[in-house]
Structure 1
């Protein structure tokens, strides 16, 4: 039963927002809430003037603000009809948590990530269209109208990895109070790593932000109405997440073994220093011919060697088109680590905390020692310890347990740590360390005066005492009871949009990707829009070549769009004008279609002659000949100049000089009178066309001439029926139905 605002003070003046994170493995619904900004400002005044709205969980207590559905939305690429059943439980849960009176005011976003990015544009459009249609029909949540982003505007779309990074950057600095206060503070950098990619987002210092065109403006509005603006750099490394990095590592290890050790090795097992000691894993690699090969790797458990082997995967020697570059030739502005501090989420947290228990402030000495000890352990002992920890339901600290700087216990893993995590922990620990230090360049801080402790909290405290400031890097999963997620950053931005600006001239707040000028030659973020967007296509190709006075930003509208639609209108008008007569005829035929009959078929039925066979379906057309002929001339005109023109065959017939000839009876077209619904037919006799009639007879010349004169004299001048044949060449004889007997000479 949905809650009601009248019986719960917590719901009074509360606003809600919903984000569905449609990932590759599943879709996670998250409900957020915040108090109405006007109410907060009126009640607390100056105390909150320079703060952002407080975004919280969408429920007063419990975990009902989150719900997940599996598998990922991308699995419906070829079965968009299944989207309805897939999203129904999520939408039902959201409606059960939000008061009905607030449903129409609650924004709903379904933002798809990695899985949907891998689909073709046609598949993407099909899934997004089905999603949009269902969400609009099954609820009254606030969803955008159709726009260049899709049928549901920005409410249902695919976001880029850079957008994930920007929203994550907003979430981190929001929770770390990086936006509060009138004085501009030094913000935290954001690091995120998943299975397929890794992102970085940070605000370069003023002295190091020379490449302004690579920065994205992030605008937020404080409760007092003032706007804060930060220029953020964000980029993504595809293929540098832990899973894809592992795949590249295995392929390289197998290749190295075949080239150097295969002939001298007595075993078919491939040694792998990134696996715990004596662990054997079978790895499958794709081949060029489409087949797969299976290789068995056995762990040697050397963290030092694993660091060396994985360092080359960073591709630091790749060409750098725009210096400076970090790795894989990707340009990143220079980072001043004396003032820049980073927070890592996702795999940075999992690899540090879930096995080593070292989440939080990062100390490389402590991290390296824990990783070295874990990698060197026998796999059988790790499995035994895992079974014991699972049976005891151990929670909390997963790695070393320390008291007063001394290690008391090791290998204490929580119940949420599974064997696959333990199998890959050595590799992931090495990969995380290499990305942080060899890739991004975070220094391995070693106190020259001699720092014997390896406790992260003590390192952070001593750094502050010595004037070193905050830790350069720390891994975090949540702050307070709010998990750090890019969805939180999206909701902070939406809550900020509801605040009234302090100045009437302030621009409305927008998503960072929508704040990038359309005239930017090489935008740092390119939106994913699988739907056909003529405006966007023309803007991207034409705007950079226009003077600044003719751009959308200076005029307030797009002259390119107006010109393009004007050209389309002129072209369509010219085509319609050229085909106006055939179109008029076609219109009349459609209106009178029920009264029309086949001309020759009607006469044949009246005279008792067999009707001809209907035309072949392959040659038939739903368009009338009067409309087809101009179209055919239009199509063939392009080739008429290059193709030699053939002399047409003359179809006119001349009267032969033979005294005795054959006369044949032709079937003339029947006369249709559409006004009275009756049809009158005439039988005409033409000389010299025996092939056109099934009945022929021989007659003397005088009989023919007499018949011809009689035919001409009997033509009714008011008759609307006319022949396409020349009367001087084909005299015809009009016979009445009562007197239409063919005259034969007496024998």
Structure 2
């Protein structure tokens, strides 16, 4: 669908924003839009005491978003291919937004868990290439370079905590959690590499709630709302990373009890009789068998899969700051009788795409559906998938709970494992009771958020755009400072992810120096001054022994620039030849190098004794 034309009423006073969610398995561009808050003048209505209305960036259809695979982190060794990778996403955004609005439309590429797993040098290269491509191939609004990154805040790797905060904003925006009439909703997100939780602790939990982050938003009437949110992330606890850890652990246990030559082990987390060949991603094992591919054959037991994956939660890790959940990470006590949580990404996919149970979560139904699916013969699942896809493509009626054509074979292969992992994280990891009430957790409002999400596009990227739209609201009073990005406190244990720079070194050393030697006291950084001085001495130390070769190099370059006229000479015989090959007198001083080069030449002239006894030079 082409972008709206200039006289389209829908376009009047409309602003756009673009977010590229660069995840671990793929990157998705999402286009949002909202009416310019500064044109909202009727502050007497109840509508004025709300946040700007952020919606999909296309008026009709679902072409506000598109995705490419694999994840951008896979280009660490060939960053020159990032342009080709991003070109379809950028082209999609250009096609959907009127060209006259490109320069005022901010674009953000925010990378998540896949990029967090890379070393800083590879992170920096990918960010630099991404920034360069977006700057040179679009007219969208991009931040200038800063200490934050090569494109400022426009191209970043965000922490799991930032991702969780954006998701928390999105959920409460959709569910009117900012109306002040009810408690805010908690947010759960699980991707391929990490999982996040974000919620606002109740008043009785604030005492054991440490490291809260303040979220500031501005309503259309200029009033600010503030919430203190707890957020944390578990890197390596997404479904793909959990599967890799599970396979490594299973193969290790198999090798310790090995009783034959065949590298075959039985896996309860795969549908019955499904065979896969997998190799542990961790190659640091001393045993050569651990580095080999093994054949996994599914036995299809959801109950056994739950037991096998439970130890991966690392619930026994020491807890230095009680209370803790998984892997010794502090999380304030959650009262699930009053706190409502919305789960997105894998929490939704594992429930809805195959089981058809998206919405209000009921563990009894979920367990029943998962057990039945895991126990099925793999050949039967493949056959049903092919028939279902054919029926849907032909427009024929299909059972309500049957999966759709968007469900790929890879999802069906991992559905048993992912379903077990999600259930373990929810109940064993986070501590959610398996049954909250007799109605089967019907108070989670999952159906309501599902319907609203379809209209506006639920995800943490929506939260980012709500924050951007809120920044545009004029403050109620000119003295009120403008809204900025969510800031991580200095004493917060998790810092924003930024590729290493000299400023990181300064930040590490400065606390160990007396206050009189800090940048604030001197007006400059003594750490960087000492570092640059040290680098200068090192450069001199390396170059000094090579000074003669350096002088020759520059002399030859100058002689090439200042070539004499055609009367050239040959040193071999001491004879000077003119252009016709006839011997002539040596050139006079005026026929040598140009006048402006004489001072330079005099400073670079070689001493006669430094020349070897005989050597032919060609200048």
1:417 to 367, 387, 407: 407
Aligned equivalent of 1:542: 510
Q: Distance in 2 between matches of 1:506 and 1:499?
A: 12
Shift of residue 43, structure 1, vs aligned partner:
4.6
Structure 2 match to 1:278? 273
Match status 1:532 vs 2:501: yes
Residues 431-461 of structure 1: CA distance to partner in whole angstroms, max 9, x if unpaired?
Answer: 11111111100012265xxx5x7xx6xx52x
Q: Which residue of 1 aligns with 2:366?
A: 367
Distance in 2, matches of 1:121 and 1:294, equals 30
Which region of structure 1 is more displaced relative to structure 2, 350-359 or 21-30?
A: 21-30
Matches within 5 A, 1:94-113: 94-113=93-112
Structure-1 separation of matches of 2:529 and 2:493: 32
User: Within 1, Cα distance between the matches of 2:295 and 2:449?
Assistant: 34
Residue 12 of structure 1: aligned partner? 12
**Cα distance 1:251–1:10, how it changes in 2: closer, same or farther (>3 A)?**
same
TM-score by length of 2: 0.79
Whole-Å separation in 2 of the counterparts to 1:84 and 1:255: 40
1:449-481 C-alpha deviation (Å, 9 max, x unpaired): xx5x7xx6xx52xxxxxxxx5469999596242
Aligned to 2:344: 345
SS at match of 2:385: helix
Structure 1 259/34 Cα, relative in aligned 2: closer, same or farther at 3 Å? same
Tell me the secondary structure at the aligned position of residue 16 of structure 2: strand
Aligned partners of 1:344 and 1:474 also within 8 Å: no
- Which sits farther off after the overlay, 66-75 or 327-336? 66-75
Tell me, yes or no, if structure 1 residue 499 matches structure 2 residue 473: yes
Equivalent residue number for residue 324 of structure 1: 323
Alignment of 1:386 with 2:385, yes or no, is yes
| Mapping of residues 588-607 of structure 1, within 5 Å | none
Specify the alignment match of 2:127 in structure 1. Answer: 128
Which deviates more, 303-312 or 375-384?
A: 375-384
Q: Report the Cα distance in structure 2 between the residues aligned to 1:246 and 1:20, rounded to whole angstroms.
A: 26
For the residues of structure 1 that align with 2:32 and 2:574, how far apart are their CA atoms? 82
Shift of 1:81: 3.6
Deviation at 1:570, TM superposition (A): 13
8 Å contact from structure 1 (residues 161, 236) kept in 2: yes
- d(CA) in 1 for partners of 2:383 and 2:150? 54
Contact 2:113 2:194 in 1 (8 A): no
Q: Where does residue 228 of structure 1 map in the other structure?
A: 225
**Higher RCO (CA 8 Å, separation ≥ 6 residues):** 2
1:372 offset after TM fit, Å? Answer: 2.0
Given that residues 361 and 473 in structure 1 are in contact (C-alpha distance below 8 angstroms), is that contact kept between their aligned partners in structure 2?
A: yes
User: Once the two structures are superposed, what CA deviation does each residue of 1:52-82 show, in whole Å capped at 9, x if it has no partner?
Assistant: 0000111111233223334433344344443
Counterpart for residue 33 of structure 1? 33
Q: Corresponding residue for 1:72?
A: 71
Change (3 A) 1:674 1:426: closer
- The correspondence for 1:439, drawn from 425, 429, 435, is 429
- The Cα shift of 1:212 comes to 5.8
Match of 2:202 in 1: 205
Counterpart of 2:213 in structure 1 is 216
Distance in 1 (alpha carbons) for counterparts of 2:155 and 2:456: 24
| 1:169 partnered with 2:168 | yes
Match of residue 465 from structure 1: none
Cα distance in 1 between the residues matched to 2:300 and 2:411: 15
Q: Does the 8 Å CA contact 1:221/1:497 hold for their aligned counterparts? A: yes
* Corresponding residue of 2:308: 309
Q: For residues 548-595 of structure 1, what are the alpha-carbon distances to aligned partners after superposition, in whole Å with 9 as ceiling and x for unaligned?
A: xx999xxxxx616724169839997xx99xx9xx9xxx9xx99x9779
The separation in 2 between residues aligned to 1:475 and 1:14, in whole angstroms, is 25
How far apart, CA to CA, are the structure 2 residues paired with 1:104 and 1:693?
A: 65
Q: Distance in 1 between matches of 2:163 and 2:445?
A: 24
Q: Please say which of residues 192-201 and 369-378 is displaced more in the overlay.
A: 369-378
> How far off is 1:674 after superposition?
11
| Residues 159 and 528, structure 1, Cα contact 8 Å, conserved in 2 | yes
Quick check: which has more Rg, 1 or 2?
1
- 1:492-512 residue CA offsets vs partner (Å, 9 max, x unmatched): 100000011113332321221
**Residues 624-639 of structure 1 mapped to structure 2, 5 A cutoff:** none
CA contact (8 A) 1:249 1:313 kept: yes
Report the Cα distance in structure 1 between the residues aligned to 2:445 and 2:495, rounded to whole angstroms.
33
Task: Evaluate the alpha carbon distance shift between residue 84 and residue 308 of structure 1 in structure 2; reply closer, same or farther with a 3 A threshold.
Answer: closer
Distance change in 2, residues 1:440/1:127 (3 Å): same
* Alpha carbons of structure 1 residues 284 and 107: separation in structure 2 relative to 1, 3 Å: same
Q: Cα 1:546–1:285, aligned 2, differ >3 Å: closer, same or farther?
A: same
TM-aligned CA deviation for residue 258 of structure 1 = 4.6
Alpha-carbon distance in 1 for matches of 2:513, 2:219: 38
Separation in 1 of the partners of 2:460 and 2:245?
Answer: 28
Matches within 5 A, 1:423-502: 423-445=413-435, 451=438, 460=442, 470=444, 476=450, 479-502=453-476
Matched length: 560
| More displaced 10-residue stretch of structure 1: 387-396 or 140-149 | 387-396
**Selected match of 2:525 from 564, 567, 571:** 564
- Structure 2, gaps ≥5 residues long: 545-550, 563-568, 576-588, 600-610, 614-619
**1:393-430 deviations in Å (ceiling 9; x for gaps):** 2899x9996xxxxxxxxx73322223332222222222
**SS of alignment partner, residue 335 of structure 2:** coil
Q: Counterpart of 2:269 in 1: which secondary structure?
A: coil
Q: Deviations over 1:340-390 (max 9, x none)?
A: 111111111111111211111111111122222222233333333223222
Q: SS of 2:280's equivalent?
A: strand
Shift of the 426–566 alpha-carbon distance from structure 1 to 2, 3 Å rule, reads: closer
**C-alpha distance in 2 between matches for 1:370 and 1:300:** 17
Query: Does the C-alpha gap of structure 1 residues 189 and 560 become closer, same or farther in structure 2, counting only changes over 3 Å?
Result: farther
Partners of 1:371 and 1:3 in 2: CA distance: 43
Shift in alpha-carbon separation, 1:269–1:674, aligned structure 2, 3 A? closer
Contact in 2 for aligned 1:216/1:524 (Cα 8 Å): no
